[in-house]
Chain A
């Protein structure tokens, strides 16, 4: 194959891998926003925490699969606790979204500092599990298996999410709660429980993304800010609360990042925010946004 074509394909795959990871983080963020109008500032911190947990579980068990199972689970439980003992209480104050934004910001600070004191400020090296190491070759293109694994894993979770949301009764309830919590609660459905479930689900997905990203990205205390900012852009540009928007924009951002780094390395970060600025100037509520909450 033509080397230039191969390069394009490889860059596109890089973009896809990062884009899918981003989607795993952003989808939880946007679902939570759709349901209660909270933009959870601590969401990316959960993602980072999971990457660190992956490191820890690896150190104990030496099994990547074990950490892929355990770390997201712990993250989900933590998410559940955060929702139950912090967010839900603050919602009762009736101060509106400012209180929730600040609370989650405070939580993210606490998580970041805890991570620093437990694991230090140095970046940790997490090696790719041997079974997924190496390059896959196809039609003259050599591509890391691990990244293909990430892409595959993300699509599995995406499929799972879509099935749950659009094929099950639970999904119907979740989507109805997202569009009109008051009405659903009148119908006799325990909305706080549904919301707690979604919060945990979002945290779990962020956790999976964290473990998957750990061998690919550098694990350091600034990881939350780095990925969180991209996830934030995804949610805002895609339209607050829109899952489809999050998907489309995640992939766009992934590709933008990947090709940006390749062709205009100096301006790559500006590209992302420039993209956001242009979209928002034309559509202040994002691509698929429906207006205010």
Chain B
């Protein structure tokens, strides 16, 4: 018998072991839901799959009686717009400021301490400030996401630039590169895939800030809806919404990964020469 740390599951066993916890959770839910519903048919805490299905149907494919909107899609669109805008803006700032900080010591001396200090401010603590300054509209939500993840992206990019071997930068100079050419042709293309990696890591926080902002002030959005229906204990809406958000998060992560793989083939066979 081999040591435990040397025993590896076969391909099939790996898939099976991966599915197992999901299946167990599902079974546990079904069992608990059945028990509660048997005791009280009006129980709202663990709704049966049938009522969850009905709720999904009515949110996604029936127009809302009051507004005439298909709520799930309206919410999804609103949330994805805010998230996309906030993440895009942060990624852009990360790239521009991060690369400038990493590549140009004069920039770094001036901006790095500021970015460092800003990254220590808990973004949620200044959400009220954002609401006061930008109002309760879209800007403050996008701003919260940006303030939440941009400092991380900037610092990560700066670090990635500083990690490039010095030999490469010297070599580029012996090939006649100016500072600008060096940034454009040597640094930028090498940190782009790393930026996409960092964006994938920061998406979790981006969702967190988005839902927090929507929970406090919004008229539509996935986070808004969850917090709205909480008042009615509508677990049949909350649970599928949470699953939907998880699915969206998974899909964006997956798409970013595929994008990196397609666009930067050199990045995946070692990254370094």
- Are A and B part of the same complex? no
